Structure 1
């Protein structure tokens, strides 16, 4: 019997020759130097390195928040580096979501309203929006806090709301820059475990920068970056 040929699955993220330099002359900073790698669909990749190594710059390029001097980034087959501002806005609205150290919640909106913001921008019908918000608050363990304002929540709870909001629009790619950087060790551990679980349950691909060895252990793969280069 002839075995069926294995069809390779296209990468969710494909980075080739990414280069980014800031400043000129003696003050030049080579944030990224000819960086290339792939991330498979459904994979959770941790990007690790010292402060100033280029982690945040790399994540900003992958998520379309900044443009490289050279090289390309493809996300789900779309060349991010070739998109105009309108195309980048659409990418961020429909395919890529972000979680940052600072939670970025709107202080005058409740937890549920914050989670629902991306769905409002997409003009999701009210009933569908409310069901999705309720589901996500359940997933992050905050259903009982739906009507509380961010200022009434702990740091860990606020980050959980931010994660739920990032997943509201069912993105294909989640970009998280030091998501536990402002949390204590115990809270950070619970948030990291939550991210791992949500990557699996929501079928999302994740690229996460971190200093935390626990997050590295939870990731499918670790990319080490130093002086703007990915190390073997």
Structure 2
């Protein structure tokens, strides 16, 4: 096997015996209790579980927004525990795209300007940034809505802008926390289909937390959590 093949076969995300507790002693809350799984390139992994099962905690840890109490996380072969705060910031900026339930768009900016924000932070040249924005707007089906602000867009359209923004810096990993939570079932299904299509076309890995059983069919892999533990899949 060549080095190129080895890299391609390597999981994008490796979670090993991950634990996260809040507080100490008898009052400690154990949000994660020894979770282990892998997520591969070009695949959409759904994190399934009821509220309080540990999904958001897991996403925050994989995204470098929080530090585990034990275990380890590898992103594209990099151990997050070995990164300082500057290194984690660079990882989040350059390698990870985030999609939130509340969309997280800046209301005073147009759709195009919202998508361009991450590229401005990386000081991408204007011409290159604008070309990337046009490409992403077309990818999510909003080429005709570039100059509209979030308040002029439907919830589904806002989430499509959020997905395009998450892709702005060509991340290796997309993390989405209940991205359809504020959408009706039909719109939510369309957004999940878009996410799956983006995973295929862009070759990224996606971790998507959801409690909607109707969306599981669109995932390549299901990781189910219950009370901070992994539930074995049939």
1:114 and 1:191 map into 2 onto residues whose CA distance is: 18
1:55-82 CA-partner distances (Å, limit 9, x unpaired): 0000111110111011110101111122
Q: Secondary structure at the match of 1:64?
A: coil
CA positional deviation for 1:40 = 1.3
The residue number in structure 1 matching 2:154 is 154
The residue number in structure 1 matching 2:139 is 139
The residue number in structure 2 matching 1:129 is 129
Bigger drift between 95-104 and 77-86 goes to: 77-86
Q: Which runs of 5+ in 1 are unaligned?
A: none
CA RMSD of aligned residues (A): 1.5
1:76 and 1:164 map into 2 onto residues whose CA distance is: 22
The residue number in structure 1 matching 2:20 is 20
After superposing on structure 2, the runs of 4+ consecutive aligned residues of structure 1 that deviate more than 6 Å are none
TM-score (structure 1 length as normaliser):
0.95
1:90 and 1:51 map into 2 onto residues whose CA distance is: 30
1:104-134 CA-partner distances (Å, limit 9, x unpaired): 1111110000000111111111111111100
The residue number in structure 2 matching 1:220 is 220
1:108 and 1:71 map into 2 onto residues whose CA distance is: 41
1:44 and 1:85 map into 2 onto residues whose CA distance is: 28
2:183 and 2:35 map into 1 onto residues whose CA distance is: 30
Q: Which runs of 5+ in 2 are unaligned?
A: none
TM-score (structure 2 length as normaliser):
0.94
